[in-house]
Amino acid sequence: MKAAIIILGNSWVCPYVNTYRRILEKQGCAYDVILWDRDGSDAAAPIRYSSGKANLANPFVKTFHYLKYADFIKRTISENGYDRLVVSGPHLAILLSGLLRKKYKGRYVIDYRDISVEQHLLLGGVYSKVLEDSYCNVISSPGFKEYLPAEYDYLISHNFNIDAAVESLNGTFPAVASSSPLEILTIGYIRNYSSNVKIIQSLGGNAGYSLNFVGRGDAAASLQEFAAAKGYANVGFKGFYKKEAEAAIVSSCDFINIFFPDDVEHSPIMSNRFYLALIHKKPVIVTRGSVQAALVKEYGLGVVAGDCSNLDVDIKDFCSGYDHIAFCKKCNELLALFVDEHRVFEQAVMAFVQQ
């Protein structure tokens, strides 16, 4: 028995790969990860497609490499004769639809984590057929159900390390990290210039806050240039960090920024940062009208912001009524629900391997 986990980018952008790794290894199932090395960070990966220094911001160039990557995947599957496939992203599912439905019917899992091309009228039917012929369909947020065919069932795979989540549930509550100035942390893949610049505009130059962007991404340089041009001394950028340093970085902050654009693409998602916040018991800043905002309101987990024009006041209002023990209990209440949902997903993937 051998499986392939097929992803649409670099491994560091797709941490959920580790969830599948963990399950397959637990089942003693051999596997390969097939990836698209877009930035050169996966040069040592055994099975990778490299687009070199191609300008992927150009839609024609990006489409060209999508097609080349799909051909690479098909060749790799043919050469290795995998028994099971995990396919991440609607782009790949659609490009590989013929292969999946003809040769792997009932032997592949579709993993869905971003609203994308499947919303196009001409592609939606193709994607629906791929969902129909899969072993199971996995989503990372309940918010996606609104945008996917209602006739199929969907399992939820949360974007967290299940061991860290369980350890957090069973551990003692961390001490309050509150400091002066308050540290607002944006960690991981730094993208979405339009929303992050609003955070900087709102709190930049305010001595009561320290804004730290830790990670890399396509918006990092532009955000850094903006902050420098404005002379905001309280805005810092630290670039790439090692995964093992993540817990320490998060533990020292006061809030985690998850303020995303207010649009269809972002409103349904559950960010990796949301889970980091629950595990490390940190309040969050999220976008009004999003799935994350609904949870923040229900459980009292932080600040729900509109255009960030009153963000300073909103943060102070939250802090004025903050009860650390009550907050940690609410974090655990929601985290426990997520762990239960994730366990159902794990059981399904184990059955998928064993069938």
For residue range 4-60, list pLDDT tens digits in order.
999 999 998 898 999 999 999 999 999 999 999 999 999 999 999 999 888 888 989
Q: Are residues 190 and 323 in the same domain?
A: yes
Q: Are residues 252 and 170 in the same domain?
A: yes
Look at residue 349 and tell me if it is in a domain: no
Look at residue 352 and tell me if it is in a domain: no
Look at residue 342 and tell me if it is in a domain: no
Q: Are residues 13 and 106 in the same domain?
A: yes
pLDDT band, very low/low/confident/very high, at 136 (cuts 50, 70, 90): very high
pLDDT band, very low/low/confident/very high, at 121 (cuts 50, 70, 90): low
Look at residue 344 and tell me if it is in a domain: no
Q: Are residues 206 and 113 in the same domain?
A: no
pLDDT band, very low/low/confident/very high, at 122 (cuts 50, 70, 90): low
SS (H, E, C) 229-276: HHCCCCEEEEECCCHHHHHHHHHCCCEEEECCCCCCCCCCCCCHHHHH
Q: Are residues 193 and 231 in the same domain?
A: yes
Look at residue 350 and tell me if it is in a domain: no
Give the residue among 57, 61, 130 at the shortest CA–CA distance from 90: 130
Q: Are residues 152 and 176 in the same domain?
A: no
Q: Which domain holds residue 260?
A: 165-336
Q: Are residues 225 and 255 in the same domain?
A: yes
Can you give the pTM of this predicted structure?
0.91
Look at residue 137 and tell me if it is in a domain: yes
Q: How many domains does the chain have?
A: 2
Look at residue 351 and tell me if it is in a domain: no
Decide: residue 18, CB within 10 A, 0-12 exposed, 13-18 middle, 19+ buried.
middle
Look at residue 123 and tell me if it is in a domain: yes
Q: Are residues 72 and 185 in the same domain?
A: no
The Cα–Cα gap between 73 and 80 comes to: 11
HSE-CB of 2 using CA atoms within 13 angstroms: 10
The Cα–Cα gap between 240 and 127 comes to: 35
The CATH number of whichever domain residue 318 belongs to comes to 3.40.50.2000
